Amino acid sequence: MPLPKYHQVYLVLREQVCEGRFQAGLPSELALQQQFGVARVTVRRALEQLAAEGLISREPGRGTRPMQAASLASNAEKFQAGPRKAQLTGLLENLVTMGLATSVKVLDVQHIAATAEVAQALRIGAGEGVQKAVRVRSTKAGPFSHITTYIPQAIGAHFGRKELAKKPILLLLEEAGVQVGRAEQTLSARLADAQLAQHLDIAVGSALLAVRRLIFDVQERPVQWLHGLYRPDRYEYVMQLSRVGDIDAKVWVSKELSAHFH
């Protein structure tokens, strides 16, 4: 099931507005209707969402205009508070900043026996105890991520639902005595099922950015395995790549990785 048409129009217009287009005003509803090949009610709903986020202003007789640069900057601060670049080491520090700048709802916390997959990732025996926590993180614009984490029980025993609702999990790990070292992660895609759609306020079948992240301590022991699902209209990763080796090597390495949320 694809994204609703109004949401597709909203995503395209949002990107164009944020790029600085339409300084003289957005096209009329009729022009947008013809451009996207959709009904007028679809265009209106997309514009209403942009207006609700403070990206455009709609005034009878004056048309639809993007907010002034100062207003857009203020709006961006509301939805993207905190440093945009991360250098704890890059990504990990960025994740802490994001956690402090957003709100979280803890859906579930329980201690379970590790499945074979979880045990393999955390390098523990199958059936050993782990803390499983499920959370939804939001900005003022609404929910943007559904996160499931697995932590060895010896570490997870130091904090529970109350603490997870107040602090980023990386800070809780450090308070539990863990010296966080580095992370490995993979990015892929997934479609939202009915449960995810409800939690993230999207349509069933919407595309999500899927992240699996394994956190190690300074002694190279896995201390957290994370499964994250993110709304791509509210969250993105930015990587800067540099070329190494001679011209025949054609090898690219990542210099920075930062997480942006809208």
pLDDT averages per 10-residue partition of the chain, 262 residues? 72 75 84 88 89 83 69 43 37 59 89 92 94 92 92 95 90 90 88 89 88 92 94 77 60 53 50
Report residue 162 as tokens: 């109350």
| Number of residues in the chain | 262
235 and 262 Cβ atoms separated by less than 8 Å? yes
87 Cβ partners below 8 Å, 6+ apart? Answer: 93, 256
How high is the pLDDT of residue 23? 77
How high is the pLDDT of residue 3? 60
Residue 135: is it exposed, middle or buried by C-beta count within 10 angstroms (0-12/13-18/19+)? buried
Q: Where are the domains of the chain?
A: 5-78, 80-261
105 and 138 Cβ atoms separated by less than 8 Å? yes
The pTM of this model reads 0.61
Q: Which residue, among 203, 160, 152, 202, has the nearest Cα to 178 in the 3D structure? A: 152
Fold exhibited by the domain 80-261: Chorismate lyase (3.40.1410)
How high is the pLDDT of residue 109? 96
Domains 5-78 and 80-261 share a fold: no
Fold exhibited by the domain 5-78: Arc Repressor Mutant, subunit A (1.10.10)
How high is the pLDDT of residue 89? 43
Integer Cα distance of 188 and 210 in angstroms: 5
